[in-house]
Structure 1
C-alpha cells in the first residue's frame, strides 16, 4: 500500500468516526429530549389494556357516553375543555389517545388504519363497560374513523358529530401521499431521521410551522406548540402520524361508498375559514347522510375542539333535535 493510499484510508477512517460520533451524539440528545418532554407533559388520564395494547384515555362525568376522537397532531387531551363542558352538562365524556399518539401504544406487525382503530376503540369501550349507545365526536383525520365505527356498529351509536372532518380521498390534503410521510416510513432511513433530527432546531421549526398552519387563520393557544414539540415530535408519534396520513386515502376510498347506509343522526360542523378544503367534504357527506345537518360556522378555522369547545357541545345538543 502506497503512502498516498494510507493517507486516504486514514482520512476515510477519521471521517467515518466523526460521522459515527455525530450520529451517536444526536441519538443520545434526542433520547434525553424525549424523556424531558414526557416529564414536562406526563400522562394525566388512565390506562387500559386491549388486545395486548396499552391505551391512554381521559374520562369525566356520568350519564350519556360521548367518545371524542382527536385529529392528527397531538392527543385526546385536545378535548379537555370540551370534556369539562360535557361533564358539567350531564354526559360521560371519554377521550382516547389514538394508537401511537399521546401515551397510547401502537399495534406492531399489522397495518393500522381508520377501520382497525375503530375496532380497537370498540373493544376498549366494551372493556371499560360502556354498554349504552354512544355519541361519537370526530375531528379532522378521525372523520373516516368515526364513520367506520358507525358503519361497523350501527346499533351502538346514538349520534355522530364531525368537526372539520376528512371523509373522502378526493380533496384530502395528502390525497396522493406526501414526500415527508413516504421518507419517514422508509425502513432504516426513516427511523434514523426520526431518532436523530426531531429534537434539533430543524424539528422545532417544523413543529412550530405545522401547528401554526393548522390553526390558521386563528391564533395558536398558549403552550400548544411546546406540547406538540414535546410529545408530537417523538419518533413513535410522528411515525404514527405519517403512517396515518398514508393510510387515509385508500381507507376512505374503500369505506366511503358505505356512508349512504348510515342512518344515525349526524351533525357536520366545519369552519368557514378551514384552510384544508373540509367544507367541500362536509357538503358532500351531508348529501349522502339521510339524517344529517350541516353547520358552517363563520369566522373560525380547522381546530374547533381546541378553540371553540362550546361549538362542539352545541353540536352534540343538536343531535337531540334530530332524533
Structure 2
C-alpha cells in the first residue's frame, strides 16, 4: 500500500463485510445486493454504508443496489496529506464504479453527499443516468450551519501527533457526551433507531472517521460555492426528496436546489425529518423507481 495514504481504523472489532475496490491507491469498501440497473447510495456525515441496509434490501429485487463507505468512513481508506473535496470523492467513486462494472448508475446522495452527487453529475454527466437527492446539502452561507468552532476542530485534528492527542483527551470525551442529544436532533421528529447510538459511538468516535468528518465539514462550503452557479447545467432526471419536518434548512437547501435543476421533481414526506435512509427506506426506493422509469422512458426508441 502506498505510504502516502493512511489505513482506515478497524470498526468496533467486527469482521469486514462486503467488498473492497482500490482506486488511486485508496481502498474503498462497498456492499451490494441484487442485479440490474446500478444504483449507488452515498451516506451523509455520520456513519457509513450501513445507513442504507434497509434500502438495499428493498431495492435489490429490481436493481443492482450498491452502497459505499465514503473515503475515511466505515472501512474505507482516505487520502492523507491534503484536503479531500467532494470533487475528489466523485473522482474516486467514478474510478471505483468503472472497476466494478457499474456503468451509468443512478446516484443517490443523502445530506452532505448531495454535494458529492452534484459534483459528480457536473464533472461526468455522460456517466450518470439520474439523481436522487435526499435532504441534500448544496449551498453554503446561512444555509450551512457549520461555524468557526467546526473549522478550528478540523484544523486541529490534522496536526500530526497533536491531532490524535486532542482527540483522545478532549474531542472524544466531549463527543461521547454530545452523541445522544446530537442524534436526537438529527433524527427529530423521528426516533433514533434501536442500536444506532451504539453504532455511532463505535464508528464516529474513531479518530480516522472523526477526522474525515471534520475535514468534510471544512471542505463543504468552498466546494458548493464553486459548484452552485452551475446546478442549472444538470440535465439529468432528478428527484429532490425532503421530510417536511427536516430541521436543517430545507428552505435554503433542498427547495432552492429543486428550483435550479431543470428536470428535478419534488418529493416531500409528511411527518418526517432528516435521516431518510433509516426512517423512510420505502420512500427512498420509491424515488429511485421513479427516476429509473424516467431514465427508461428517455432511452426507449421512438415509435416509427
Same-fold status (TM-score > 0.5): yes
Counterpart Cα distance in 1 of 2:292 and 2:35: 18
Counterpart Cα distance in 1 of 2:259 and 2:172: 44
- Confirm whether residue 300 of structure 1 aligns to residue 266 of structure 2: no
Counterpart Cα distance in 2 of 1:249 and 1:150: 18
The 3 A distance-change label for structure 1 pair 64 and 291 is same
Aligned residues: 284
Counterpart Cα distance in 1 of 2:94 and 2:246: 30
Give the counterpart of 1:244 among 216, 226, 231: 216
The structure that has the greater radius of gyration is 1
Q: What is the aligned partner in structure 2 of residue 165 from structure 1?
A: 136
Counterpart Cα distance in 1 of 2:240 and 2:208: 31
Q: What is the aligned partner in structure 2 of residue 105 from structure 1?
A: 77
Matched residue of 1:54: which SS?
strand
- Confirm whether residue 138 of structure 1 aligns to residue 115 of structure 2: no
Query: What are the superposed Cα offsets for residues 224-280 of structure 1, whole Å, 9 maximum, x if unpaired?
Result: 000100111101101110110010001000011111100000000011000111233
Instruction: Determine if contact 1:59/1:92 at 8 Å carries over to the other structure.
Output: yes
Matched residue of 1:278: which SS?
coil
The structure whose residues are more often helix, as a share, is 1
Counterpart Cα distance in 2 of 1:68 and 1:290: 22
Counterpart Cα distance in 2 of 1:265 and 1:145: 17
Matched residue of 1:81: which SS?
helix
Kindly state the Cα deviation for residue 322 of structure 1 after the two structures are TM-superposed. Answer: 3.8
Matched residue of 1:276: which SS?
coil
Q: In the TM superposition, what are the counterparts of 1:41-56 in structure 2 within 5 Å?
A: 41-56=14-29
Q: In the TM superposition, what are the counterparts of 1:147-296 in structure 2 within 5 Å?
A: 147-174=118-145, 177-186=147-156, 187=159, 188-197=161-170, 200=173, 202-296=174-268
Counterpart Cα distance in 2 of 1:184 and 1:261: 32
Counterpart Cα distance in 2 of 1:95 and 1:203: 26
The 3 A distance-change label for structure 1 pair 246 and 303 is same
Instruction: Determine if contact 1:134/1:157 at 8 Å carries over to the other structure.
Output: yes
Kindly state the Cα deviation for residue 321 of structure 1 after the two structures are TM-superposed. Answer: 5.0
Kindly state the Cα deviation for residue 320 of structure 1 after the two structures are TM-superposed. Answer: 4.1
Kindly state the Cα deviation for residue 181 of structure 1 after the two structures are TM-superposed. Answer: 4.0
Kindly state the Cα deviation for residue 127 of structure 1 after the two structures are TM-superposed. Answer: 1.1
The worse-fitting range, judged by mean Cα deviation, of 55-64 and 185-194 is 185-194
* Structure 2 runs not aligned, ≥5 long: 1-8, 296-304
Counterpart Cα distance in 1 of 2:198 and 2:88: 30
Kindly state the Cα deviation for residue 194 of structure 1 after the two structures are TM-superposed. Answer: 1.3
- Confirm whether residue 122 of structure 1 aligns to residue 129 of structure 2: no
Kindly state the Cα deviation for residue 192 of structure 1 after the two structures are TM-superposed. Answer: 1.4
- Confirm whether residue 38 of structure 1 aligns to residue 38 of structure 2: no
Matched residue of 2:143: which SS?
coil
The 3 A distance-change label for structure 1 pair 212 and 42 is farther
The worse-fitting range, judged by mean Cα deviation, of 207-216 and 111-120 is 207-216
Counterpart Cα distance in 2 of 1:305 and 1:243: 23
Q: How does the TM-score come out when normalised to structure 2?
A: 0.89
